[in-house]
Chains A and B, each alone.
Chain A
Amino acid sequence: MTAHDENLLTEQQLDIFREALHCGAADASEALGRWIGKPTSISIDSVEQLPLAEATGVLEVGDEPICFCIAEMQGRLTGQLVLAFDDSSGLALADLLLDLPRGTATAWGEMETSAALETTNILGCHYLGSLARALPAGDDLTSQLLPSPPRFSRDFAQSMIAFILMDQITAADNVLLTRVQFRIDGDPVDWTMLLVPDAASMATLRELLK
């Protein structure tokens, strides 16, 4: 372990963090189910500390452009919360929310983008809110964890992931990534939500999860 990797979490700390993330995912599942009007399940897919080169491939989508809704975390932890999806999965969400047959939306217009951003906002508020409550109490005065208003972008996955990881990279050779996956009506959906703490929050987590 290098001096910079001392900033990373131990296996025991990762387990505690994973449990807190499960609480966030459960709350986010309920909220998303209410929002789209269908039974929804969100599960923690991975909580990993990966070498840099591996981390940029975490979405496993190759070189193709995909869509991102990105919110900054504010409160107990800081960093980025990202909902990522390919065009067809994102546009299918818009059809679902607008009560239109799947395949109606074919391009990213104002309505489709708004649907994706509002979904990210709902997911983020519930996921982060429950995560904040599930984390051990620390010395910090605030117990809240909130997302900023999300922003939408369509870009190369590896470029975007590299950008999101940049703050952690300044302090460590490995990076912490947490990923959740979705099922709607029992079927898997090609959306991925990533939670990426920044370097300052890695120190906060190390302290909180002792």
Chain B
Amino acid sequence: MSRLSSIRMGEFSVAKGDGVLCTLVGSCIGLALYDATHKVAGLAHMVLPQSRNSADSSGKFVDTAIPALLRDMTRLAEGAINPTARLTGGANMFATNAILTIGQQNIEASERILGEMGIPIVGSQCGGEKGRRVTLDAATGLITIEIVGADPIELHDRPRRRRTHHG
């Protein structure tokens, strides 16, 4: 039986082997990183694009969650990793301008920071008006996205050449 870790809002976690990571996102972003060589996975439930010098909630912000996730994945792999990224979430569940803007800002901040780090985004399932349950299997890298009232969606990693990350 696999080991399932549920990730709450503003938190992140890493896994390998038979570990499975899961989170529920609405307008927030679920960022999944996966290193196929070491079979190390990381999943973050990011809420806002930019940190406000809040030292104890690094998972809450895109600009702090991504480096923290990479750091923990590198530790778990016990060596340099070559992760790919997939983005989910950013829904506008009940249209309000402020929240709509934050969801889009989260997506843009994620794309920018991942781009600066040379981490390719190999899959994306963002937007819409519904929440998503995102499950990442560390053994296979498979992401499953469940949306209420719809069939589950699988997002597969497409390997490409990229820089190596040392944490």
* Interface positions of A (Cβ within 8 A of B): 2-4, 52-57, 63, 65, 70, 72, 151, 153-156, 158-160, 162-163, 166-167, 169-170, 173
- Which of chain A's residues has its CB closest to B7's CB? A53
Decide yes or no whether B66 CB sits under 8 A from chain A: no
* Interface positions of B (Cβ within 8 A of A): 6, 8-11, 24-28, 47-48, 52, 54, 57, 60, 91, 93-94, 96, 98-99, 102, 130-133, 148-149
- Which of chain B's residues has its CB closest to A169's CB? B47
Determine whether the beta carbon of B102 is less than 8 Å from that of A166.
Answer: yes
Q: Which A residues are CB-close (under 8 A) to B91?
A: 159, 163
Determine whether the beta carbon of A56 is less than 8 Å from that of B99.
Answer: no
| Assembled-state Cα–Cα distance A163/B6 (Å) | 18
Determine whether the beta carbon of A163 is less than 8 Å from that of B26.
Answer: yes
Q: Which A residues are CB-close (under 8 A) to B52?
A: 3-4
Query: Which residue of B9, B27, B60, B132 is within 8 Å of A56 (Cβ)?
Result: B9
Determine whether the beta carbon of B57 is less than 8 Å from that of A52.
Answer: yes
| Assembled-state Cα–Cα distance A166/B89 (Å) | 14
Q: Which A residues are CB-close (under 8 A) to B28?
A: 162
Report the minimum CB–CB distance from B22 to chain A (whole Å). Answer: 8
Interface of B is mostly: loop
| Assembled-state Cα–Cα distance A170/B28 (Å) | 12
Q: Which B residues are CB-close (under 8 A) to A159?
A: 24-26, 91, 93, 130-133
| Assembled-state Cα–Cα distance A159/B88 (Å) | 12
| Assembled-state Cα–Cα distance A170/B98 (Å) | 10
| Assembled-state Cα–Cα distance A4/B148 (Å) | 34
Known contacts A63-B6, A159-B131, A166-B102; can you find 18 more A-B pairs with CB under 8 A? A3-B52, A4-B52, A52-B8, A52-B60, A54-B8, A70-B94, A155-B26, A155-B130, A155-B148, A156-B24, A158-B26, A159-B24, A159-B26, A163-B91, A163-B93, A163-B94, A166-B27, A166-B47
| Assembled-state Cα–Cα distance A166/B149 (Å) | 24
- Which of chain B's residues has its CB closest to A52's CB? B10
Query: Which residue of A2, A3, A160, A163 is within 8 Å of B99 (Cβ)?
Result: A163
| Assembled-state Cα–Cα distance A151/B93 (Å) | 11
Query: Which residue of A52, A54, A156 is within 8 Å of B47 (Cβ)?
Result: A52
Report the minimum CB–CB distance from A62 to chain B (whole Å). Answer: 9
Query: Which residue of A2, A56, A65 is within 8 Å of B148 (Cβ)?
Result: A65
Report the minimum CB–CB distance from A198 to chain B (whole Å). Answer: 8
| Assembled-state Cα–Cα distance A56/B24 (Å) | 10
Determine whether the beta carbon of A160 is less than 8 Å from that of B26.
Answer: yes
Known: A56-B8, A159-B25. A167 touches B99 (CB 8 A): yes
